Amino acid sequence: MTGPIPVDRGKPGSKIHVVSDRAGLPLVVGVSAANLHDSQALKPMLMAVPRIRSRRGPRRFRPAKLHADKACDIDDLRRWLRQRGIIPRIARKGIDSSERLGRHRWVVERTISWLTGYRRLTIRYERHADNYCGFLTLAATLNCFKRLTKLAT
């Protein structure tokens, strides 16, 4: 076989990371390099989740469960989540089927598709990652505004 391998892990580009609630509202969005492993973005994304306000009882500071794909199946990440009181719902490599978690993961995939529905985010035209992240945050804000105004009416 000649030429580059079609799946080149060292490729330039960017990846969108989203932490959303159960309804699909994006809580935290982020951008990383395409050649960065997904598990390395999990800790900073969860640390950026704002405090959760509840109407009854004491305020929760973090989500109760985390659904993630098999890329985050690392013992250190599971331990880190349990120390913070978050129950990890991560499919184990070689053991669990990703179909069971697909019932919950489709919400995040739908949120990402809503965000990439904005023309500026479909293809990255921005040279600087800060500008692209700013547009991504703006798209997430517009998405939340649209969904919450639809629920209010």
Of 131 and 122, the structure prediction assigns the larger pLDDT to 131
Is pLDDT above 90 for 80? yes
Q: What percent of the chain has a predicted confidence (pLDDT) above 70?
A: 81
Q: What is the pLDDT of residue 76?
A: 92
User: Residue 24 in 3-state DSSP?
Assistant: coil
Whether residue 36 is contained in a domain is answered as: yes
Whether residue 47 is contained in a domain is answered as: yes
Banded model confidence at residue 105, pLDDT cuts 50, 70, 90: confident
Of 96 and 63, the structure prediction assigns the larger pLDDT to 63
Q: What is the pLDDT of residue 52?
A: 66
Give pTM, 2 decimals: 0.76
Domain range spanning residue 39? 14-152
Whether residue 1 is contained in a domain is answered as: no
pLDDT in tens, 50-59: 776 667 777 6
Q: What is the pLDDT of residue 7?
A: 53
Whether residue 55 is contained in a domain is answered as: yes
For the domain that residue 78 is a member of, what is the CATH number? 3.30.420
- Could you give the CA distance from residue 60 to residue 83 in angstroms, rounded to a whole number? 15
Whether residue 83 is contained in a domain is answered as: yes
Pairing of strands 26-33, 87-90: unpaired
Residue 60 and residue 52 in contact, taking contact as beta carbons nearer than 8 Å: yes
Query: What are the CA-CA distances from residue 59 to residues 26, 54, 62 (Å)?
Result: 20, 6, 9
Q: In this structure, what token pair is assigned to residue 32?
A: 């990383």
pLDDT in tens, 7-61: 555 566 788 888 888 888 888 898 888 888 888 888 998 888 877 666 777 766 6
Q: Count of domains in the chain?
A: 1
User: Residue 150 in 3-state DSSP?
Assistant: helix
Banded model confidence at residue 70, pLDDT cuts 50, 70, 90: confident
- Could you give the CA distance from residue 48 to residue 46 in angstroms, rounded to a whole number? 5
